[in-house]
Amino acid sequence: MLATRSGTLVPVTAGPTGLLPGGLGVPDQAALAPILAGWSALSDRSGHDPSTPRSAHGGRPAPDQSAGGHRAAPIDLRAWHAAATAVELRIPAATRAGVTAAQLAELDRDLPDPPSGGTGFASAQRAAELTRDALEARSARLEECVAATVGAGIGTTPAGDDVICGVLAGLDLLGDTGAHGRLGAAVMPLLTATTRTSRHLLAAAVAGRYTEGLIGLAGALASASAPAVCEALGVLRRWGASSGLDQATGLAAAIRAGTLAGAGAR
């Protein structure tokens, strides 16, 4: 995670990790290593401001490599952003018949219990509460539940924040803009209650942009392919100690509750 002098966070990921909102991706860890190795020295010595436009898109840059043993030039994230291929990290709404009971059962079968590594945070229960309150427009209860969830848990991205991202993603997959808007509105005033990295990802999720892994799971659920669900969950399983699985738990709760309630665009 790089931070520009203006305070904007730029997640830089490699290979199968996938893109994060507002970030840049390189082909593999080998391409990223020399950039990270020289970053501290370059930023300390240079008067150049390596800032990037505030973009909600992800992108895949083709950074220049140093040659002949010479020190690389200062990193110019504006140049990286301009050279990147833009990727729209959104989840399109599925059709009413798009997510089947079999797909959801496949996801439920493969999700561990509890997903958040035994930290004491009940991810599945909290995800169900958030979803229900957002779908049914229970404003006071939703605000109370969100306040107890943002920043809950340990790590760079606490489990509570990951669950919220997953629920928001599930509501987008359902096409329920009303519930998404209600949950997002309850989250935004509380961003200072969590880590800097989590604030970045929560704000992106409120704006309808997600990690590439979570988008992959949403797409698999809408694909009518059980093996695709299994494969997509495998990608999320490798993201963080339990972050990817907590996001998947949130998404599953939203789809389950929305399907039972007959949710559609509101």
In terms of DSSP bridges, do strands 9-10 and 2-3 run parallel, antiparallel, or are they unpaired? antiparallel
Q: What mean pLDDT do residues 116-132 have?
A: 83
In terms of DSSP bridges, do strands 2-3 and 85-87 run parallel, antiparallel, or are they unpaired? unpaired
In terms of DSSP bridges, do strands 12-14 and 24-26 run parallel, antiparallel, or are they unpaired? parallel
Q: Which residue has the higher pLDDT, 137 or 63?
A: 137
What percentage of the chain reaches a pLDDT higher than 70?
77
Q: What is the pLDDT of residue 100?
A: 76
For 4-53, what is each residue's pLDDT tens digit?
A: 777 888 888 887 778 899 888 887 778 777 766 665 544 444 443 333 33
What is the CB-side half-sphere exposure of residue 217 using CA atoms within 13 A? 34
Q: What is the pLDDT of residue 18?
A: 86
Q: Which residue has the higher pLDDT, 31 or 181?
A: 181
Beta bridge partners of 13: 25
Residue 55 has pLDDT above 60, yes or no: no
**DSSP class of 26:** E
Tokens of 228: 């695709």
Predicted model pTM? 0.80
In terms of DSSP bridges, do strands 2-3 and 24-26 run parallel, antiparallel, or are they unpaired? unpaired
Residue 265 has pLDDT above 50, yes or no: no
Mean pLDDT, rounded, of the chain? 81
Residue 228 has pLDDT above 60, yes or no: yes
Q: C-alpha angle with apex 206: 227 to 254, nearest 5 degrees? A: 45
Residue 168 has pLDDT above 90, yes or no: yes
Residue 61 has pLDDT above 80, yes or no: no
Name the burial class of residue 260, with classes exposed (0-12), middle (13-18) and buried (19+) by CB atoms within 10 angstroms of its CB. exposed
Name the burial class of residue 247, with classes exposed (0-12), middle (13-18) and buried (19+) by CB atoms within 10 angstroms of its CB. buried
